Amino acid sequence: MPKLEVVGLEKRYLLEEGDELRELVALQDVSFTVAEREFVSIVGPSGCGKTTLLMIVAGLAERSGGEVRLDGRPVEGPGLDRGVVFQEFALFPWMTVLENVCFGLEMKGVPRGQRLQVARRFLAMVGLEGFEGVYPHRLSGGMKQRVAVARALAYDPEVLLMDEPFGALDAQTRAVLQQMLVDVWAQTRKTVLFVTHSIREALLLSDRVLVMSARPGRIVGELPVALPRPRDPLSPEFAALQRALAEMLGGVPVGLV
């Protein structure tokens, strides 16, 4: 049985155009599965609905049709079984780094002593030991996203949902955090659904890449990535996959993203 199943997902908006209401189809018949411990990326151009898709899986957005199942059970609303990392980091500014990571554990009902121990372990895993008592506004973007990853992993969700988590970072920090995620994933072997517009990022991280088209948002292709990790983006095998994925996306010049 797949860990996460998305079946026939639909999302329609009503758009006001003057006096007329026009229906906009954001997602059309989106179906895919993610296996236990699998790392799957969804790649697509901006506006293709990939973030909407992830937000529906997270239970934060309404769907117009279809179903999301986790371990065979249909998903309604947000819950601790799905950890979410947002592009905007979404750390609570009024909590220290440690308190931020403890929040989910507290909601889960983990006793205080154990909470601190688990939070410290995950902060160390993302390379942030020594920053426990710092407030988020003193951290750089890359460090904030490290905290957010630790926070989403700490309460041990069934799947980790990541919405362009490194999209707001500069290229160098982005590369460092991609490597961190590869390391963290190797240690935790979480089931991950990862949304990005970067072909390179998807190929660096994933076991499998799903390709989405825009308007309406549909899954138009799938590409398994069998390369061993850590992956070398300059290798011929990687380049070949990059070209294949770019062609599936509709001829984006290879190597640009």
Partner 1 sequence: MSVGESRQAVAARATAGLGRRGGLRARRQLVSLWHTVRTLALLAVAWELFGRSGVLHNALFPPFSEAVGRLVEWARQGLFWRDLGWSLYRLAAGLLLGSAAGTLLGMVMGYSRSVESWVVPALDLFLSIPSIAVYPVVILAFGLSNKAIIYTLAFEVAITVTVNTWTGVKSVPPVLVNAARTMGARGRVLFWRVMLPGALAHIISGYRLAFSRAWRILVAAELMGGVGSGLGFRIQEGRAFFDSELVFAGVLALGVLGVLAERLLLRVLEEATVERWGLLRS
Residue closer to partner 1 by CB (options 88, 222) is 88
Q: Taking a C-beta distance cutoff of 8 angstroms, is the pair 191, 144 a contact?
A: no
End-to-end CA distance of the chain: 34
Residue closer to partner 1 by CB (options 97, 205) is 97
Angstrom distance (rounded) from CA 26 to CA 213: 10
Residue 169 identity:
L
Tell the smallest beta-carbon distance from residue 151 to partner 1 (Å). 8
Q: How far is the CB of 98 from partner 1 (least distance, A)?
A: 13
- Closest approach of Cβ 88 to partner 1, in Å? 5
Residue 33 CB, shortest distance to partner 1, in Å, is: 22
Smaller CB distance to partner 1: residue 135 or 238? 135
Place of tokens 């951290």: 139
The footprint of partner 1 (CB under 8 A) covers: 58-60, 78-80, 82-84, 86, 88, 90-94, 103-104, 107-108, 127-131, 133-138, 140, 142-143, 151, 155, 172-173, 176
* Contact (CB, 8 A) for 126 and 103: no
Count the neighbouring beta carbons within 10 Å of the beta carbon of residue 93. Answer: 8
Residue 90 CA, chain-centre distance (Å), reads: 14
Least distance (Å) between residue 134 CB and partner 1: 6
Q: In what order do the strands lie in the sheet with 39-43?
A: 82-85, 159-163, 191-196, 39-43, 208-213, 218-224
